[in-house]
Structure 1
Amino acid sequence: MIKVLLAEDVHMVRGALLALLTREKDIDVVAELGDSSKILPTARLHRPDVAVIDIDMPGESDLSTVEKVHSELPQTRALLLTNHWRPATVRRALSMGVAGFLLKDSPPENLVSAIRELAAGRRVIDADLAVSAWQAPTPPLTDREMEVLRLAAGGEGVTDIAARLHLSPGTIRNYLTTVATKLNARTRVDAVRIAVNAGWL
């Protein structure tokens, strides 16, 4: 039996996915939730084989929750679902070793087969997502610079970013200055706009 954790914040969508998966004799949905902050503790409790996660859920930004699950529970394979994918997000997910990535408008049978493939140790990445991600221009920023810019884009101030990343406010200001220089941006807001338009955030 394949144990599955289902994380989706839209009740109707989660209900439809749950109904789909519970029809399968070899799949057992051990937990379903709509709050991204509960993904890691729930995964620790149930230790699912596959975690089906909507990465567009409100809460922790981007792939941070998925990274934590991957780090603590390597036996749990993540299958990410998204409507609004960005090339940089797909690239980061693939480099992290995420096992599966599907668009939400994929046929329902694709989700079921993807779960089985992941449980068998294989990877399933939507072909269009993979091709587009690798063809898109690579951001000229380091991973740390992207992380700082991502937090700034989320509305966090220098002090908050410094506390979250365990760095000094001066270091964060230096990162933001470097980011603006690399992107030829006049301001932090301009840097965010450039990164969003390029599909990096």
Structure 2
Amino acid sequence: MIRVLLADDEELIRAALAALLGLEPDLDVVAQAADGRAAVDAALAHRPDVAVVDLGMPVLDGLQVTAELARALPACAVVILTGRGRPAHPTRALTAGAKGFLVKGAPGGALADVIRRVHGGGRYVDPALAAEALAAPSCPLTPRELEVLRLAEHGTPAAVIARRTRLSAGTVRNYLAAATQKLGVTSRAEAYLLAHRHGWL
């Protein structure tokens, strides 16, 4: 039996996935979680073979859960599920340590097949997203520029971002100006939206 953890903040989706996987004779859903921190705790408690993790969850997102499990429970293969995949997401997921990346609109039996594949040591990335990733532009921003831009989402003042990043307010403004210039837009709000649309954040 392949022991599976399901983590998704939408209870209806989590229950539907559990029911679907419960029909498979070789899969056993041993734990469920509604947020990223609970997913990590459940994985450490139950030691699943495969964790199926939603990309967008509260407390810790799917990429953060993947990175934590890669460190704390390397024998557990992670499959990331998303309802809104962006071209950059599969690359970021694989870099974090995920073995699979699947969109929620995939055919019914696809998730079970992907779980078996990653449990066997393979990898899987949704073909449509993989093709988009190959055609998508690469991110021109540095990790620091991305970090500052991510924190600027709701028009957060430079002084607040500076405290969170332990940078000076002037340095924060410089990073935001550099990001805006590199992306060819006129404001940090536009820069954020463009970076988010490409999946760089």
2:66 is matched with: 66
Q: 1:156 to 1:92 in 2, by over 3 A?
A: farther
- The CA distance in 1 between the partners of 2:124 and 2:8, in whole Å, is 19
Q: 1:134 to 1:161 in 2, by over 3 A?
A: farther
2:177 aligns to what SS in structure 1?
Answer: helix
**Structure 2 length normalisation: TM-score?**
0.86
Give structure 1 stretches of 5+ with no counterpart.
Answer: none
Counterpart of 1:189, as a letter, is: A
**Structure 1 length normalisation: TM-score?**
0.86
- The CA distance in 1 between the partners of 2:24 and 2:13, in whole Å, is 18
Contact kept, 8 Å, 1:91 with 1:134, in 2: the verdict is: no
Give structure 2 stretches of 5+ with no counterpart.
Answer: none
1:37 is matched with: 37
What is the number of equivalent residue pairs in this alignment?
201
2:184 aligns to what SS in structure 1?
Answer: coil
Shift of 1:186: 2.8
Q: 1:49 to 1:24 in 2, by over 3 A?
A: same
- The CA distance in 2 between the partners of 1:141 and 1:107, in whole Å, is 35
List aligned pairs for 1:98-177, cutoff 5 A: 98-153=98-153, 157-158=157-158, 161-162=161-162, 164-165=164-165, 167-177=167-177
- The CA distance in 2 between the partners of 1:165 and 1:9, in whole Å, is 28
Shift of 1:99: 0.5
1:84 is matched with: 84
Contact kept, 8 Å, 2:3 with 2:48, in 1: the verdict is: yes
2:78 aligns to what SS in structure 1?
Answer: strand
Which aligned runs of 4 or more in structure 1 are off by greater than 6 angstroms?
none
- The CA distance in 2 between the partners of 1:177 and 1:127, in whole Å, is 36
Percent same amino acid among aligned pairs?
45
1:137 aligns to what SS in structure 2?
Answer: coil
The alignment yields a C-alpha RMSD, in angstroms, of: 2.3
2:4 aligns to what SS in structure 1?
Answer: strand
Shift of 1:148: 2.6
Counterpart of 2:120, as a letter, is: A
Shift of 1:78: 1.0
